[in-house]
A and B are shown apart, each in its own frame.
Chain A
Amino acid sequence: MGDTVESGGEVVEEAVRCQCRQLIEMAPFPMAVVAGPGHAVVCANVRFGYLFGSSKEALVGMPLGALLDEPGAGLKIFREALVGGVSKVHRETSAERALGLGRSYVVWPIAGDALPEGMVVQITASEIEEKTLAMNEALLLGSLRQQGLTEASEAAKVLMEALVHERTAELMEINKQLESFVYAVAHDLRAPLRAMQGFSALLAADVGAGISVKARDCAARIRKAAEFMDALLIDLLTFSRISQQRLPLSRVELGRVVEAVLGRMTEEIRGGKVRVDHEGPWPGVLAHESSLHQMIFNLVSNALKFSRPGVQPELRLRAEARPGYVRLWVEDNGIGISPGHQSQIFLPFTRLHGGKYAGTGIGLAIVQKGAERMGGAVGVESAEGLGSRFWIDMKSAPDTGEERVEQSVE
């Protein structure tokens, strides 16, 4: 158990060393830990080394008797301390002092399981008063106590960290399983939908077989229902992913995402003769890029969908820099939303106008959940018949040149 060091033929345990090393290194007076019948140095502090004109490392293993000029008297207290288990002090007599030796020795035994395992020795010039020595002893005992407490709290801290680590691993595992489950469900539900869509499309296209108009109409309805359910599953997958997965956040160029979204909708924009305004400036935001893309896509898609008949649709995207965050506006001149419905629309499966407008009713829920996960918020300003102005607040991420990566809000 532990390393050992040879000292005068005796073997000294690592445990004894460890216990006091830090302690004596902090002590203001020369101090060493000795052990074994030869009182060999186990470890010493720097001042102890100076006292004997040596580095503290070089003294390790040396029996104390070899270091002291007058071994006899000094070493007697060592024996007494070891046997009695109490600290002892020896001050050299005036005769010895006259010889220029003048030292005081204080010895504290280090308790082992049965007998003291070793001792802490402090050697100072005799001029130092009793009071100072007593203070030092108090400090030493206090430090030993403190170390004991610190060790206990260290142990508790390590245990806490282990528990937290385990709990986090558990949660991550549950999250992963949930995500796998959602994924497997969606995957397996989409297979029959593919069949329903495909076969009803084949039916409807099969002109030569003499299928009645009514039958063709039925086939078309089956196809549309299958396509709708597929869209629903895809949106549910997106919603689940945005709600549960870890989304690493980093600096995103808002302008670039806006361009990408608008690029995906060029046909609808051209077809609907929509006037689009997306003037900058476009600040950087702290976000998860692909989720942000999906969120902006959903808002733009809605803006184009809920246009007022007979009115040329207008779409405006702009960013407002505010203290610490950025507000992205997606504004339209469409049919608008009455105040009574404005909170409702962010709930999943909410479609205000029933089947009149295509959509799964999950688009805005995705926008809201995504914003929350990124530490932001969403909202709308609107009135019926007067268009809608949707906003997304995100943390701003100015271009400092350094990479900033955070975790999404759990």
Chain B
Amino acid sequence: MNTTGTFLLVDDSEDDLYLFRAACQMAGLRNPLQEVHDGEDAVAYLKGEPPFNNRALHPLPILMLLDLKMPRKDGFEVLAWLRKQPVLRRLPVFVLSASLRLEDAERAFDLGANGFLVKPSTLDELTDMVRTLGAWLRFNHLPEICPENDA
């Protein structure tokens, strides 16, 4: 069971990415973090297209944290694309959004999100959330997503 794999963070807010990294540190989560700032880069990363074609530098993640409101393809589009890919579609995705709208959560789950996390307003709560993510990872038996099988 791979609990030390990479997290792919997809968010256009530098501040939110910074705080997430800080929360990971405070929660004692050691998974390597990769960051992209919009939906198109997220797809390119997952496809292994340049500039993300070196898998040693940009490994396939075991979990993706996906913001919704982003330029150049939003979170919904990324999710819709992902769930159509033959093997990649098994990648667990937690939407991490500031949206409190029920319809956004519904749409995310309809598109195959594994969770809808609302960005907490305090760093303490974010740290708690990250700690919980870590625990969730330990208890989950995640399927392998091998790039060779990717058609």
Find out whether the CB atom of A187 lies under 8 angstroms from the CB atom of B123. no
Complex Cα spacing A201 to B22, Å? 11
Residues in A whose Cβ lies below 8 Å from that of B119: 194
Find out whether the CB atom of A187 lies under 8 angstroms from the CB atom of B98. yes
From B18, B19, B100, contact of A237 by CB (8 A): B100
- Supposing A191-B13, A202-B22 touch, asked if A197 and B98 sit within 8 A by C-beta, the answer is no
Instruction: Determine if B124 is an interface residue (Cβ-Cβ < 8 Å).
Output: yes
Minimum CB–CB distance from B59 to chain A (whole Å) comes to 28
- Supposing A191-B13, A230-B121 touch, asked if A198 and B22 sit within 8 A by C-beta, the answer is yes
Complex Cα spacing A159 to B108, Å? 42
Closest chain A residue to B121, Cβ basis: A230
Residues in A whose Cβ lies below 8 Å from that of B26: 205
Q: When each residue 118-145 of chain B gets 1 if its CB lies under 8 Å from chain A and 0 otherwise, what string results?
A: 0101111010000000000000000000
- Supposing A198-B22, A198-B126 touch, asked if A193 and B15 sit within 8 A by C-beta, the answer is no
Question: 8 Å CB contacts to B: which residues of A189-203?
Answer: 190-195, 197-199, 201-202
Instruction: Determine if A183 is an interface residue (Cβ-Cβ < 8 Å).
Output: yes
Closest chain B residue to A183, Cβ basis: B101
Residues in A whose Cβ lies below 8 Å from that of B6: none
Find out whether the CB atom of B121 lies under 8 angstroms from the CB atom of A197. yes
From B18, B19, B121, contact of A227 by CB (8 A): B121
Interface residues on A, range: 10 to 19
Instruction: Determine if B106 is an interface residue (Cβ-Cβ < 8 Å).
Output: no
Residues in A whose Cβ lies below 8 Å from that of B22: 198, 202
Minimum CB–CB distance from A118 to chain B (whole Å) comes to 58
Closest chain A residue to B120, Cβ basis: A194
Find out whether the CB atom of B98 lies under 8 angstroms from the CB atom of A190. yes
Interface residues on B, range: 10 to 19
Find out whether the CB atom of A197 lies under 8 angstroms from the CB atom of B122. yes
Q: When each residue 72-87 of chain B gets 1 if its CB lies under 8 Å from chain A and 0 otherwise, what string results?
A: 0000000000000000
Complex Cα spacing A187 to B68, Å? 12
Complex Cα spacing A193 to B16, Å? 11
Find out whether the CB atom of B15 lies under 8 angstroms from the CB atom of A195. yes
Find out whether the CB atom of B98 lies under 8 angstroms from the CB atom of A198. no
Residues in B whose Cβ lies below 8 Å from that of A194: 15-16, 19, 98, 119, 121
Residues in B whose Cβ lies below 8 Å from that of A192: 15
Minimum CB–CB distance from B126 to chain A (whole Å) comes to 7
**How many pairs of A and B residues are in contact by the CB < 8 Å rule?**
45
Q: When each residue 1-36 of chain B gets 1 if its CB lies under 8 Å from chain A and 0 otherwise, what string results?
A: 000000000000101101100100010000000000
Residues in B whose Cβ lies below 8 Å from that of A230: 121
Question: 8 Å CB contacts to B: which residues of A147-196?
Answer: 183, 187, 190-195
Complex Cα spacing A227 to B125, Å? 12
Residues in B whose Cβ lies below 8 Å from that of A197: 121-123
Complex Cα spacing A190 to B18, Å? 16
- Supposing A190-B121, A193-B121, A230-B121 touch, asked if A198 and B101 sit within 8 A by C-beta, the answer is no
Minimum CB–CB distance from A261 to chain B (whole Å) comes to 20
Find out whether the CB atom of A227 lies under 8 angstroms from the CB atom of B100. no
Complex Cα spacing A205 to B122, Å? 13
Question: 8 Å CB contacts to A: which residues of B97-123?
Answer: 98-101, 119, 121-123
Complex Cα spacing A209 to B146, Å? 43
Q: When each residue 202-246 of chain A gets 1 if its CB lies under 8 Å from chain B and 0 otherwise, what string results?
A: 100100000000000000000000010010000001000000000
Find out whether the CB atom of B100 lies under 8 angstroms from the CB atom of A198. no
Complex Cα spacing A202 to B100, Å? 25
Minimum CB–CB distance from B107 to chain A (whole Å) comes to 15
Residues in A whose Cβ lies below 8 Å from that of B16: 191, 194-195
Complex Cα spacing A25 to B121, Å? 73
Q: Which of B99, B101, B121, B124 has the most CB of A within 10 A?
A: B121
Residues in A whose Cβ lies below 8 Å from that of B123: 197-198, 201-202
Closest chain B residue to A233, Cβ basis: B121
Find out whether the CB atom of B121 lies under 8 angstroms from the CB atom of A187. no
Closest chain A residue to B99, Cβ basis: A187
Minimum CB–CB distance from A202 to chain B (whole Å) comes to 6
Residues in A whose Cβ lies below 8 Å from that of B122: 197-198, 201, 227
Minimum CB–CB distance from A175 to chain B (whole Å) comes to 16
Residues in A whose Cβ lies below 8 Å from that of B126: 198
Residues in B whose Cβ lies below 8 Å from that of A237: 100
Residues in A whose Cβ lies below 8 Å from that of B124: 201
The interface of chain A, by Cβ under 8 A from chain B, is 183, 187, 190-195, 197-199, 201-202, 205, 227, 230, 237
New A-B contacts (12) at CB < 8 Å, excluding given A194-B98, A201-B123: A183-B100, A187-B99, A187-B100, A193-B121, A194-B15, A194-B16, A195-B16, A198-B18, A199-B19, A201-B122, A202-B22, A205-B26
List 13 A-B pairs, Cβ < 8 Å.
Answer: A183-B100, A187-B98, A187-B99, A194-B16, A194-B121, A195-B15, A197-B122, A198-B18, A198-B122, A198-B123, A199-B15, A227-B121, A230-B121
